[in-house]
Amino acid sequence: MSVIATIEAGSLLRPSFTALPPLALYVHVPWCLRKCPYCDFNSHELRAAGSVQDALPEDAYVDALIADLERALPSIWGRIVGSVFIGGGTPSLLSAAAIDRFLGAVRARVSVRPDAEITLEANPGTFERARFAGYFAAGVNRLSLGVQSFDDRFLKVLGRVHGADEARRAAESALMIFGNVNLDLMYALPGQMPDDAARDVSSALSFAPPHLSFYQLTLEPNTLFHRHPPSLPDDETAADIEDEVQAMLGRAGYGHYETSAHAKPGWQCRHNVNYWRFGDYLGIGAGAHSKLSFPDRVMREIRWKQPKRYLEAVTQGTPVQESVEVSRGDLPFEFMLNALRLTAGVPASLFVERTGLPLSVIAQPIAEATRKGLLDPDPALLAPTLLGRRFLNDLQELFLPEKAASQKVGSDSTFVARDSALSPARMQVGSDPTFPR
């Protein structure tokens, strides 16, 4: 894939792509049985007077997703979808028949690679074996199970709707039906000690899933835990837990390929790797984000977040709430924010391919990061060192537009403040579970 970055009048660089990045499809399902106290995702509690089936507008939502996709087709004409990720929220609230209808509609409208990875996120609290088998029959070939812990004490603290037994039964069935399964677990939980985390890792390893994700519990704004903070392990204990988790997974043969993701060789999540390599994605559904490249620009879109508002907007043909072009000043940071999450980093040439800008625009932050020991000195690579992985935020911050502006382009007004609603810090980047989970 070759890219030419042209220099226009007034030294204004504009990205110029001769080939576009790989494309993925993200689908958001915005409901959950209950809102977890730490959750800042676009998930809305189903307030059912009766059953879940009564409260969930399943048919209307699938119709809306199909209409949303149809409206977006001109922006992805001729492109092939390499992976589909149905995330949430709790997509496993949808019936297998609904998933089957939706995936059939996708295939009828979009070229999907025959070997596309098609992931669905499931909550053990909605587990039914027949339902899992139905998803598989519908074409879902990867299941991401939000276990969080195999210990009832911590599941209770986290406000999860499932218990440890349900988590075990769901994991067992998922492995049997799909084979390609991710288990999500969290660590640094209130009251958790390294031994507790080690027991969770052992429980997870007993199922031998090909992929495991471990996320540190953080207190995000606009969550119950932020308003009423629980007592979390101190930094030293959290670091001990993290070291213990990573050592156990390494000994068990899992490669630590991304900040929170571990996989057996050949089982990395292709959908999420596409995000981290700054690939394109069309996001449909309430609150979904898109990043789409065109020959001369990169666009970000966000759809209406509230499910009711989204459903109304789709019927009016306006599911997109906001659409902005990513400025050339923001592109380098957005690329590095993603790529540096990959443990092995990326080839330096990928920066040029995916941003349409020359590597020289980040020459100074690269030099500073290398001097500080945060970035691998190999000029052919953009990869964090062990120290860089430990201090990932500090490393990423070196590539902030403001930093680059002061180092590289002085008062160039195209380097804008990063306060957009489409800031990458708020974008969904798929989801084992949806970044930045």
Q: Which residues bind ligand SF4 (CB under 6 A)?
A: 32, 35-36, 39, 41, 43, 88-90, 123, 146
Which residue, 369, 273, 395, is CA-closest to 378? 369
* Nearer to ligand SF4 among residue 32 and residue 69 (C-beta): 32
- Helix, strand and coil content of the chain, in percent to the nearest 5, comes to 40, 20, 35
* Beta bridge partners of residue 322, listed in sequence order: 302
| Min separation Cβ 213 and ligand SF4, Å | 13
Q: Please check whether residue 14 is in contact with residue 296, taking contact to mean a CB–CB distance below 8 angstroms.
A: yes
Of 178 and 225, which has the nearer Cβ to ligand SF4? 225
Element (H, E) at 82: strand 80-88
Cβ neighbours of residue 230 under 8 Å, at least 6 residues apart? 157, 190
- Of the pair 146, 329, the CB lying nearest ligand SF4 is at 146
Q: CB of 381: closest distance to ligand SF4 in angstroms?
A: 35
CB closer to ligand SF4, 126 vs 385: 126
Query: Shortest approach of ligand SF4 to residue 28 CB, angstroms?
Result: 10
H-only helix segments in 305-371: 307-315, 331-339, 348-355, 363-371
Largest Cα–Cα distance in the chain?
65
Give the tokens for residue 224: 């119950």
Q: Which residues of 377-398 are buried (b: 16+ CB within 10 A; e: fewer)?
A: eeeeebbbbeebbeebeebbbb
C-alpha span between 384 and 371 (Å, rounded): 12
Backbone angles phi, psi at 342, to 5 degrees: -75, 125
Instruction: Report residue 329 as tokens.
Output: 């000043």
- Distance separating alpha carbons of residues 148 and 89, to the nearest angstrom: 15
Hey, which residues does 260 pair with through a beta bridge?
none
Residue 33 Cβ vs ligand SF4, minimum distance, rounded to whole Å: 8
**35 or 107, CB closer to ligand SF4?**
35
* Pick 41 or 102: Cβ nearer ligand SF4: 41
Shortest separation between residue 39's beta carbon and ligand SF4, angstroms: 3
Q: Which is nearer to ligand SF4, 93 or 197 (CB)?
A: 93
Task: For the CB of residue 224, give the shortest distance to ligand SF4 in the complex, in Å.
Answer: 10
Nearer to ligand SF4, 41 or 276 (CB): 41
Q: Which is nearer to ligand SF4, 89 or 194 (CB)?
A: 89
What Cα–Cα distance (Å) separates residue 418 from each residue in 415, 421, 436? 9, 9, 17
**Shortest reach from residue 58's CB to ligand SF4, in Å:** 17
CB of 157 to ligand SF4, least distance (A): 13
C-alpha–C-alpha distance, residues 206 and 210, integer Å: 12
Query: How far apart are CB 36 and ligand SF4 at their closest, in Å?
Result: 3
